[in-house]
């Protein structure tokens, strides 16, 4: 499991050991099924949701496991080393906690043993732990998508100062990035002074580009994190987004043209420029939105940092350049 | 569990019955523990991850349940109606599937029975089903936050046409909403013509406002959906966001002022206007971001529809009005 290191610290909280339980039933391989059942009657299961019993040697090294169900239906005299089977998957305490969930999905188990480097049994991750991981990872992704450095603590328990620090870094970075967008406007200042009407459409063009980019980036980021989109699917994803982008772009451009000319009675030249820009911006933003997360993940970054805010900033700059180029061509400003 | 109906259809796919398993072990209340174990040895557990055995009467009405562990440690002669306990929680097939996860969390169980109106046992939701729900619900929230109408199918299996329809509705709605922002600019056209330098900062101000709004809205929406923020916490949330907003706003305004004056050597008046606008916009967007999801949920809407894109559109308009008012005051344009 690859780990990410952009704009955050504190990887310790994402280790398997934070969701591992040390309460379990460890039995000797030479015990008989009958004895194991007697032992179980005597001590009970240490935790309600533990479904497995573990077989370990004198050093505590995990030899195998069986479910309570298998124990119940086994012949009374069966030795545990004959009853047990090899674990379907093993976790290490220092593994990323996401691996626990992925391994459960792969192996079809909802309980996995955790062992150290010497194979000694340290604990288990059970379904309740996995559900905790799923919740926490989804929260993290959403926070990254909203330009927040993830924190583990619930909102109401987090201090104002910590909230400030988790948010201000990205805000500063994005604010300074937006300077490029301003530079583009300054560059075309003469055109704007000649055609002030163009200024009124800047927010709409920027927002639409940003929204289109968010839509495709969030879709791709979530697909990556659920394993629905794999490394070999990039061409398929790009082709799909191109088609969706064209459909959305044509729709928005048509509605906009109609609104500005027939309904609004505005300048037809400006209406054409705005609508054409919309079409190009929508397609470009959709492509950006699916390409950037892939680029991020191939550089070892979490794709989620490439979500909405960063793509918005880039698509803003793009849409303005497109806007002023098209205006220059069509309106000769 | 309240359900939402904005910009989407197909609630059937969110019912408990879609993650319910019908395979289970139903036993008669008059059976003895010994007989139940014998039966279990004979038929086995129908599914590996089933931890409970269910006791039902002749009509199939659920009377109680016990875990496999309880069966194993029970005296051989104990009758099942004495061994069983009342279910910690009951689901209905038509319940929202999110209720299954919330009930598991409340009751501390990872397996819950599903019954019909007459109390007849229909199936169970086990940990693997709950994990599926957690994944799907997080995906839905992310999609709503990115202005996508949620769909259940994996991206690569979804057709271009369906993707188009899930995205274009919100894009159109937001594009038309952004018209108001344009109207504000048109209203202040004279000011802009007099001070063209002001135009260059519009994208940066809009983006920063949008980013601040996203940060607080996503935090609040996630807190609501995880149950970390409750109905009585609004004042606390608002007060916290106000403080965080002030801290972020002062930081951004200071950095911006420094950049525009000392480093950039630009017009001090414009720099002051931009920095003051930043401060006000950041605070307003943070407050908007935490208030709108609450308003949405009190109207029975999913708070997630109030996330980034909608708040961006509103905070754009706000920040422009603030910008031009401050410019009018300080620059007399």
Tens-digit pLDDT profile for residues B137-190: 888 888 877 777 777 777 778 888 888 888 888 888 888 877 788 888 888 877
Task: Give the integer Cα–Cα distance in Å for A163 and A159.
Answer: 6
Task: Give the integer Cα–Cα distance in Å for B121 and B115.
Answer: 4
Residue B67: phi and psi, rounded to 5, are -85, 160
Fold (CATH) for A179-331: Tetracycline Repressor; domain 2 (1.10.357)
Task: Give the integer Cα–Cα distance in Å for A205 and A110.
Answer: 48
- A134 touches A102 (CB < 8 A): no
pLDDT of residue B82: 93
Average pLDDT of A121-148? 85
Q: Residue A301: name the closest of A216, A192, A221, A202 by CA.
A: A221
Task: Give the integer Cα–Cα distance in Å for A278 and A281.
Answer: 5
pTM of the model: 0.77
Average pLDDT of B109-123? 92
Alpha helices in chain B (DSSP H): 33-43, 68-73, 80-83, 97-107, 127-145, 160-187, 189-194, 202-225, 234-258, 268-298, 308-331
Higher pLDDT among residues A261 and B247, named by residue: B247
C-alpha torsion B84→B85→B88→B91, nearest 10? 50
Q: Measured between CB atoms, which of A163, A244, A255 is closest to B240? A: A163
- The sign of the CA dihedral B31, B34, B35, B36 is positive
| Interface predicted TM-score (ipTM) over 0.95 | no
Q: How far is A332 from chain B (nearest CA, A)?
A: 19
pLDDT of residue B10: 34
CB–CB contact B143 A218 (8 Å): yes
Q: Residue B18: name the closest of B72, B109, B98 by CA.
A: B98
Task: Give the integer Cα–Cα distance in Å for B206 and B212.
Answer: 10
pLDDT, tens only, A26-76: 899 999 999 998 888 877 665 666 778 999 999 999 999 998 888 888 888
Closest residue in B to A45 (Cα–Cα): B69
Burial of B157 (0-12, 13-18, 19+ CB in 10 A): exposed
Architecture category of domain A18-127 in CATH: Roll (3.10)
Higher pLDDT among residues B98 and B11, named by residue: B98
CB–CB contact B164 A215 (8 Å): no
Fold (CATH) for B182-331: Tetracycline Repressor; domain 2 (1.10.357)
Q: Measured between CB atoms, which of B147, B172, B183 is closest to A214? A: B147
Closest residue in A to B179 (Cα–Cα): A204
Task: Give the integer Cα–Cα distance in Å for B272 and B27.
Answer: 77
pLDDT, tens only, A107-126: 888 889 999 999 999 999 98
Q: Which residues contact B261 (CB under 8 A, 6 or more apart)?
A: B268, B271
Closest residue in B to A246 (Cα–Cα): B164
Q: Measured between CB atoms, which of B51, B206, B256 is closest to A203? A: B206
Residue B49: phi and psi, rounded to 5, are -95, 10
The structure tokens listed for B9 are: 């259809």
Average pLDDT of A194-208? 83
Q: Measured between CB atoms, which of B72, B160, B244 is closest to A68? A: B72
Q: How far is A29 from chain B (nearest CA, A)?
A: 20
Give chain B positions within 8 Å (CB) of A67: 48
The structure tokens listed for A164 are: 């400030």
Place of tokens 């299954």: B100
The structure tokens listed for A92 are: 């290490």
Distances in whole angstroms, Cα of residue A226 to Cα of each of A92, A218, A292, B309: 22, 12, 18, 24
CATH code given to domain B11-134: 3.10.580.10
Give chain A positions within 8 Å (CB) of B98: none
Domain boundaries of chain B, sorted by first residue: 11-134, 182-331
pLDDT of residue A145: 77
- A113 touches A87 (CB < 8 A): yes
Burial of A262 (0-12, 13-18, 19+ CB in 10 A): exposed
């Amino acid at each position: 499991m690859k780990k990410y290191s952009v704009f955050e610290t504190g990887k310790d909280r994402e280790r398997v050991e934070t969701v591992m339980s040390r309460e379990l039933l460890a039995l000797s391989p030479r015990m008989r099924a009958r004895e194991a059942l007697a032992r179980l009657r005597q001590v009970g299961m240490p935790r309600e949701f533990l479904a497995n019993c573990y077989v370990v040697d004198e050093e505590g090294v995990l030899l195998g496991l069986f479910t309570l169900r298998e124990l119940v239906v086994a012949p009374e005299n069966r030795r545990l080393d004959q009853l047990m089977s090899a674990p379907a998957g093993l976790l290490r305490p220092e593994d990323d906690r996401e691996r626990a969930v992925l391994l459960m999905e792969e192996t079809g188990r909802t309980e996995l043993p955790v062992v150290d480097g010497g194979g000694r049994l340290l604990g288990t991750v059970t379904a309740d732990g996995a559900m905790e991981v799923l919740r926490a990872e989804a929260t993290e992704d959403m926070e990254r998508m909203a330009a927040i450095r993830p924190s583990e603590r619930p909102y109401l328990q987090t201090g104002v100062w910590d909230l400030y620090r988790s948010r201000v870094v990205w805000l500063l970075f994005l604010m300074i990035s937006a300077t490029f967008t301003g530079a583009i406007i300054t560059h075309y200042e003469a055109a704007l002074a000649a055609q002030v009407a163009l200024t009124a459409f800047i927010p709409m063009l920027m927002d639409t580009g940003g929204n289109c980019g968010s839509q495709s980036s969030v879709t791709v980021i979530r697909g990556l994190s659920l394993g629905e989109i794999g490394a070999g699917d990039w061409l398929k994803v790009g082709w799909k987004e191109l088609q969706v982008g064209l459909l959305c772009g044509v729709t928005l451009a048509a509605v906009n043209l109609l609104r500005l000319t027939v309904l609004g009675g505005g300048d037809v030249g400006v209406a054409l420029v705005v609508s054409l820009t919309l079409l190009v911006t929508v397609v470009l933003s959709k492509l950006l939105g699916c390409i950037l997360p892939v680029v991020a993940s191939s550089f070892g970054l979490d794709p989620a940092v490439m979500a909405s805010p960063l793509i918005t900033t880039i698509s803003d700059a793009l849409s303005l350049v497109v806007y002023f180029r098209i205006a220059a061509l069509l309106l000769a400003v």
